[in-house]
Amino acid sequence: MSAQAILHDVFGYSEFRGQQAAIIDHVIQGQDALVLMPTGGGKSLCYQIPAIVRKGVGIVVSPLIALMQDQVEALLQQGVKAAFLNSSLDAESAWRIEQDLVDGKLDLLYVAPERLLTPRFLQLLDQTELALFAIDEAHCVSQWGHDFRPEYVQLSILHERFPHVPRLALTATADEPTRREIIERLGLIGAKQFTSSFDRPNIRYRIVQKQNPREQLLRFLETEHPTDAGIVYCLSRKRVEETAEWLRSRGWNAFPYHAGLSNAIRQENQQRFIREEGNIIVATVAFGMGIDKPNVRFVAHLDLPKSMEGYYQETGRAGRDGLPANAWLAYGLSDVITLRYMLDRSEADEQHKRLERRKLEALLGFCETTLCRRQVLLNYFGESYSAPCHHCDNCLEPVATWDGKIAAQMALSCVYRTGQRFGVKHLIDVLLGKETPQVQRFFHHKVSTFGIGRDYSELQWRSIYRQLVAANLLTVDMSGYGSLRLTENCHPLLRGDQTIALRKDPEVFRRKTKISPAREQKESSAPKDELWQILKNKRLELAKEQGVPPYIIFHDSTLVEMHAKRPKTLEEFAGISGVGERKLERYGAAFIQVIRAHES
């Protein structure tokens, strides 16, 4: 059976996307590959189809149980012989799967790197005809990365022990140094690299300055995602639990997820998020890698991520189905201070700290930019994006700038005159001429900068200090009190030898972001009527009967097309994208029946 026939008959798609066809053909020919493709770009088909076409079993190395289970459930729905081996199985079930593996009864087997590296499993592979090895989430091999898994480094054994079995490493997140590390550590020196665009055109990027972040989040949810599933990321476990509880107190189905919760609670909350509609998961970065839920309509950050890689990967969990989605971030000076302080106090060696500082500086530049955010984001990953995207916040609401030279000099001078020992709140009190007990205690009402900043409000001074820290003109002292110190970079500005352009941040809650006419037309075309709810209810009913997430039955994008075309026969139903032969057989009649009933 050809790759094109499998794409159509098994997976229900009429044509490949991007470089899928070239990658699949390359692997079918027995060649190694490194595949860089954004989340939602169709990476899984790049190894699933070759595993079905080639003789033997495709072994997929995957870091997370949830990812394996989702992928296998989806493949079984499509009639593909797939299984997984992980700690969730009892001994008898695992033994049966091992026998199916050796007997050649599987097309694909998903396995964690820890299990794959055991002598017992390697011996099983010695007895098995192998189609390929697929190493998913390959960036986990990088010791400099945010998702490092020590076991991934040992996967070079696949090349040494099975030199004639093609291997492909796949990731959605890898800058140039990480790519080099993947190639070196996995022995992929001669592998062909396939790099797809990192652009996710369906995601709208938006960053707001923190004022009251919970209320800002609530406004965002109420106006744009009142019934949608989404993820809210926070930096600390405490903040996760407090935010989830706060959202629940206001009527939202929100559940916490972080490494400090018991396995049972994490599993329950994750399953509710995956299998139910419209829930919100509030999480640390412990949540998300490998989550295949395609209809996550928003990812919100209440705290700044640590790097552009982390931000890109986390926001990439929105809109995997290709439908419109939001990436929303509330960002403030406290985030910058916290992350720089954490980095300086970490036990990492100086080389690692320098790398992490550069990554943080790139993210701060992305937050503070007045340019198209999509251009800045893609440029970070080495991809040029020539024209503005016209649907990020900076494109839709162009940011005004102002000559901040004098204000910056006042802010920096105040840091110097007060001894470089105080945080932002105290510095602003001095600039505004407030004779607080602390100002009087340290005689700062007598310094030359006392009261010189009354032309600006407290919010404006917070914005100025945030931008000066982001520009590395000020740094956070390691004493632990959040005090600011001058850097060498600030001296030209203090001497008057250079100027600085600062953003004009709004001082009130920003209204709902404008939507470009083309995007407004696309979003307004999403069904909101009775038939749409009927189709979703039928999908949920079938999912509950089988104990699988609704998107395993059909993605939202398939329901959207079903709603638009309203098929009345099995032949018409077969023409819907995402409907393969097995799903046509299993679900065609049920959905046709509810469509006919609605229109009768």
> What is the rounded distance in angstroms from the CA atom of residue 584 to the CA atom of residue 544?
19
pLDDT at 290: 57
pLDDT(364) > 80: yes
Mind giving me the DSSP string for 460-511?
HHHHHHHHHHHTTSEEE-TTSS--EEE-GGGHHHHHTS---EEE---SSPPP
Confidence of residue 558 (pLDDT cuts 50, 70, 90): very high
Helix, strand, coil percentages (3-state) for the chain, rounded to 5, are 50, 15, 40
Q: Which residue has the higher pLDDT, 566 or 288?
A: 566
- The burial class, CB within 10 Å (0-12 / 13-18 / 19+), for 431 is buried
Q: Can you give the pLDDT at residue 481?
A: 67
pLDDT score of 517 more than 80: no
pLDDT tens digits, one per residue of 387-442: 899 999 999 999 889 999 999 999 999 999 999 999 999 999 999 999 999 999 99
Top-ranked range on mean pLDDT: pick from 85-89, 371-375, 475-479: 371-375
pLDDT at 509 over 60: no
Whole-number pLDDT of residue 348: 81
3-state SS class at 143: coil
The pLDDT of residue 511 = 40
Domain spans in the chain, listed from the N-terminal domain onward:
3-195, 203-367+375-387, 401-503, 527-599
Q: How do beta strands 296-301 and 229-233 pair?
A: parallel
Say yes or no to pLDDT of 4 above 60. Answer: yes
User: What pLDDT shows up at residue 289?
Assistant: 62
Q: How far apart are CA 184 and CA 428, in angstroms?
A: 51
CB 324 within 8 A of CB 519: yes
pLDDT at 218 over 60: yes
Architecture of domain 401-503: Orthogonal Bundle (1.10)
* Tokens coding 77: 């729905």
Percentage of the chain surpassing pLDDT 90?
73
- Rounded to an integer, the average pLDDT of 242-252 is 97
Q: Residue 285: its pLDDT value, please? A: 84
Q: How far is CA 385 from CA 17, 183, 389, 519, in A?
A: 20, 26, 9, 19
Q: For the residues of 29-67, what is the DSSP string, one character each?
A: TT--EEEE--TTS-TTHHHHHHHHHSSSEEEEE-S-HHH
Pick from 376, 367, 357, 371: nearest CA to 472: 357
Residue 1 pLDDT: 86
Specify the pTM.
0.86
Least confident of 92-96, 439-443, 519-523: 519-523
- Write down the mean pLDDT value for the chain: 90
Lowest model confidence (mean pLDDT) among 161-165, 475-479, 578-582: 475-479
**What would the CATH number be for the domain defined by 203-367+375-387?**
3.40.50.300
Instruction: Name the more confident of 200 and 516.
Output: 200
* % of the chain beyond a pLDDT of 70: 94
Average pLDDT for 446-467:
94
Residue of 42, 45, 46 whose CA lies nearest to 33: 46
pLDDT of residue 396: 94
Give me the long-range contacts of 525-532 (CB less than 8 A, separation at least 24): 526/323, 526/324, 526/560, 527/560, 527/563, 527/564, 530/598, 531/563, 531/566, 531/595, 531/598, 532/559, 532/563
Note whether 445 and 474 are within 8 A (CB). no
User: Among candidates 506, 507, 504, 497, which has minimal Cα distance to 405?
Assistant: 497
Is residue 103's pLDDT more than 80?
Answer: yes
The per-residue pLDDT for range 184-196, each reduced to its tens digit, is 999 999 999 999 9
What's the whole-number mean pLDDT along residues 260-264? 92
Rounded Cα distance, 88 and 66, in Å: 10
Mind listing the pLDDT tens digit for each residue in 287-337? 866 577 899 999 999 999 989 988 998 999 999 999 999 999 999 988 888
Given a cut of 70, is residue 111 above it in pLDDT? yes
- Give yes or no on whether 3-195 and 401-503 have one common fold: no
If 0-12 CB within 10 Å is exposed, 13-18 middle and 19+ buried, where does residue 439 land? buried
**Band of pLDDT at residue 531, cut at 50, 70 and 90:** very high
CATH architecture for the domain at 3-195? 3-Layer(aba) Sandwich (3.40)
- Split at pLDDT 50, 70, 90, the class of 177 is confident
Residue owning tokens 């499509």 = 78
Tell me what pLDDT residue 518 has: 39
Residue carrying structure tokens 């081996």: 85
The Cα–Cα gap between 445 and 438 comes to 10
Question: So what's the pLDDT on residue 77?
Answer: 95
Average pLDDT score over residue span 453-457: 95
What is the number of alpha carbons within 13 Å of residue 559 lying toward its C-beta? Answer: 26
Architecture of domain 527-599: Orthogonal Bundle (1.10)
